Amino acid sequence: MNEQIILKIENLSKKFGSNQVLKNVCLEVAKGDIYGILGLSGAGKSTLVRCINGLEQFDEGTIAFNGEVVNFDRNYRRQVAMIFQQFNLLDQRTVLKNVMLASELFGEKHCQNKAMQLLKLVGLEDKVDAYPSQLSGGQRQRVAIARALMSDPQVLLCDEATSALDPETTNQILNLLLQLNRELGLTIIMISHQMNVIEQICNKVAIIDQAQIVESGNAQDIFLFPKTDISKRIIYSGHINTKVDNSKFVKLIFNGEIDTPIVANIIQDCNIALSIIYADSKVVNGRIYGQLILTMPADSRDATKLCKYLQLKQIHFEEVVASELQ
């Protein structure tokens, strides 16, 4: 597949005083990607997206957009729109006026029809004359999305766009973003500290820690086989107790080929008791992808039995110890 690189970031570095917030960051985003950037608070991910559209300046490195090094003029900014955690709508303007602002700034008239269409697209056609204070958080973010789309951007940057929303509203916004990606071919770069948000819609992922990108690639690969400690910590956070030092686990990988109730089958067929430590799966095109981490039976005969059984059923698995997961 010939991917067209829409955004290429090379060796981006930035310091705030003596504090290095970005260090040699490289990132390639292809057209149509939903690229997730995951990191803990303070890792530098917010600064990275802000550098992409020029809200923040950087010390070294280059950013190229469609092959050309960008100069961050206002026409470039229109191509790379942004939505924010706090929505940042203008409170003293109606919903419609907020959306039209994006065109107003460029002296474009007769943009009301387009604004109405976009508000319809985000499902707010009945709120055009409301003020932001009359809307819920999810509705405000929809207005912000409509506003961002007003300039027909090629890239949409999402800076913790769902972090202020409840889980259900988060899902609705993520589904909307996915819909925009598919219907408009919009490339999306989203940063979040919430792994489930990134996992839900991103096809590519970069993990950023202490100002550097430590891992990047296909979302599936990174979530199933995290290599670095920080990635493991983010992915398994809260699920695996750090105290369980050397306990042995078995990690089952679902790569879309398993369609049987696997845990129930193991218990039934092998007659051994198991605890589930971590489970994470999603259904893509009717196939199950994800992983399941179980405790290895303490009895060595049971453990052998389990491994043999998994081999027999051709289930991809690996033995791991707790310390490897953190």
Partner 1 sequence: MNFNDILTMVLETLGMVSISGALAYLVGLPLGILLNVTSQKGLKPCKWLNFVLSLVVNVLRSIPCLIVVVLLMPAVRALLGRGTGEWYTIIIPLFVTSFGFVARMVEQSLAEVDKGKIEAVQSLGGTDFQIITKVLLPEARSSLVGGLAVTLVSILGYTSFAYNIAAGGLISGIWRFYSQNTGDYLSDPVFWVMIVIVILLVQLIQELGLAISKKLDKRRILE
- If one asks whether residue 111 binds partner 1 (CB under 8 A), the answer comes out as no
Closest by CA to 318, choosing from 251, 246, 249, is 251
Per rule CB under 8 A, is residue 55 in the interface with partner 1? yes
**Cβ distance to partner 1 smaller for residue 180 or 315:** 180
Which residue in the set 4, 19, 62, 90 belongs to the binding site for partner 1 (CB under 8 A)? Answer: 90
Q: Rule CB under 8 A: is residue 278 a binding residue for partner 1?
A: no
In degrees and rounded to multiples of 5, residue 169 shows phi and psi of -65, -40
Residues 205-264, interacting with partner 1 (CB under 8 A): none
Per-residue tokens: 45: 């991910």
Q: Based on the shown chain and the rule CB under 8 A, indicate whether residue 81 belongs to the binding site for partner 1.
A: yes
Query: Does residue 147 interact with partner 1 by CB under 8 A?
Result: yes
Closer CB to partner 1, 36 or 132, in the complex: 132
The angle subtended at Cα 197 by Cα 131 and Cα 41, nearest 5°, is: 90
* Phi and psi at residue 247, to the nearest 5°: -60, 145
Question: What stretches of the chain show up as alpha helix (H) in DSSP?
Answer: 45-52, 74-79, 95-104, 112-121, 137-149, 167-184, 195-201, 219-224, 229-236, 262-270, 300-312
What are 132's two structure tokens?
């932001």
Inter-axis angle of helices 112-121 and 95-104, nearest 10 = 120
For residues 136 and 89, the answer to whether their CB atoms sit within 8 Å is: no
- Shortest Cβ 51–partner 1 spacing (Å): 12
Q: Which residue has 């729109």 as its token pair?
A: 81
Cβ proximity of 175 and 8 under 8 Å: no
Stretch that binds partner 1, among 104-112, 181-189, 224-232, 302-310 (CB under 8 A): 104-112
Of the candidates 106, 108, 228, 299, which one interacts with partner 1 according to CB under 8 A?
Answer: 106
Closest CB to partner 1 among 134 and 136? 134
Question: Nearer to partner 1 by C-beta: 139 or 151?
Answer: 151
Task: Indicate whether 86 belongs to the interface with partner 1 (CB under 8 A).
Answer: yes
| Number of amino acids touching partner 1 (CB under 8 A) | 30
| Residues contributing to the site for partner 1 (CB under 8 A) | 53, 55, 74-75, 77-78, 81-82, 84, 86, 88-93, 101-102, 104-106, 131-134, 144, 147-148, 150-151
